[in-house]
């Protein structure tokens, strides 16, 4: 089984400042890793994903994330945020094993609020 | 354009009513999912399907039922709505193989009074 912990439920940050949203996971098998964003009254949109290869992954809207296997972390970063980045961000994992066990497990989310 | 659709977006209904939440996708995906999400909370998988005539229960026990008669359609039904069913319901789809990246619809916000 997998579990995902998003360490901060709310992150307020001023516009044009950098931000890091933290995600740690626990799993007995290797996993794929994802970050999703949810704007108010909308569904989830994929920001980026780590499948294999380079541990630094670039996504949409200027976001990037770094996979750290030894620390079982997948933190999301953006060097300069905009008001439009205000949203809920979800970290998720999926085991590499095939079959019905390969479901997404989500963290509880981090509300990013960008202040003017 | 390939997309995933949910109707209605918002629904307010009285206790005891039967409701069906619609989900359709033009992504060409075989696998579909229903999640329940309370405000400010994580998503919980309540149902999923591998394809036509396949339905499975997810991690969170739910009184709802689903059907998959057509590949592109995955409706969720509550036979008798209760206030405890008040929540947001998100539908998603994915390919059967690969990284299982899921694509989400806009959600249905259900309020049972």
| pLDDT, position A65 | 97
β-strand partners of A111: A10, A88
Q: Is the pLDDT of residue B70 over 90?
A: yes
Radius of gyration, alpha carbons of chain B: 13
Would the CB atoms of B101 and A46 count as touching at under 8 Å? yes
Contact A104/B102, CB-based, under 8 Å?
Answer: yes
Query: For A79, which DSSP code?
Result: S
The candidate with the shortest Cα–Cα distance to B105, out of A106, A13, A38, is: A38
Work out the number of other CB atoms within 10 angstroms of the CB of residue B22.
15
Report residue B99's pLDDT band, with 50, 70 and 90 as the boundaries: low
pLDDT greater than 70 at residue B11: yes
**Mind listing the pLDDT tens digit for each residue in A81-101?**
999 999 999 999 988 775 554
Residues 6+ apart with CB under 8 A from B98: none
End-to-end CA distance of chain A: 41
Q: Is the CB of B109 less than 8 angstroms away from the CB of A41?
A: yes
Mark the ranges of chain A whose per-residue pLDDT is less than 70: 98-102
Residue B52: its pLDDT value, please?
A: 94
DSSP per residue, B48-68: EESSTT--EE-SS--S-EE--
What size, in residues, is chain B?
Answer: 113
Whether B32 has a pLDDT exceeding 90, the answer reads: yes
Residue B79 DSSP code? S
Average pLDDT of span B75-88: 95
Instruction: Pick B99 or B52 by higher pLDDT.
Output: B52
- Taking the Cβ of residue A111 and every Cβ of chain B, the question of whether any pair is shorter than 8 Å is answered with yes
Q: 3-state class of B11 per DSSP?
A: strand
What's the gap in Å between the CA of A43 and the closest CA on chain B? 4
């Amino acid at each position: 089984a997998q579990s995902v912990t998003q360490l901060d439920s709310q992150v307020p940050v001023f516009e044009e400042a950098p931000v890091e949203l933290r995600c740690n996971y626990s799993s007995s098998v290797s996993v794929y890793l994802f970050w999703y964003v949810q704007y108010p009254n909308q569904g989830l949109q994929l920001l980026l994903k780590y499948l294999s290869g380079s541990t630094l992954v670039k996504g949409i809207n200027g976001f990037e994330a770094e996979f750290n296997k030894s620390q079982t972390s997948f933190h999301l970063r953006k060097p300069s945020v905009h008001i439009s980045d205000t949203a809920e961000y979800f970290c998720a994992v999926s085991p590499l094993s095939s079959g019905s066990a390969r479901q997404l497990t989500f963290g509880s989310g981090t509300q990013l609020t960008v202040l003017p | 354009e390939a997309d995933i659709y949910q109707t209605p977006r918002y629904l307010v209904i009285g206790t005891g009513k039967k409701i069906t939440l619609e989900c359709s996708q033009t992504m060409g995906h075989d696998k579909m999912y229903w999640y329940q999400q309370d405000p400010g909370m994580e998503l919980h998988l309540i149902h999923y399907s591998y394809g036509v005539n396949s339905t499975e229960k997810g991690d969170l026990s739910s009184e709802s039922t689903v059907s998959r008669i057509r590949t592109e359609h995955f409706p969720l039904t509550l036979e008798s709505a209760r206030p405890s069913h008040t929540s947001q319901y998100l539908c998603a789809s994915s390919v059967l193989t690969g990284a299982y990246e899921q694509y989400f619809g806009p959600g249905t916000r259900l309020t049972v009074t």
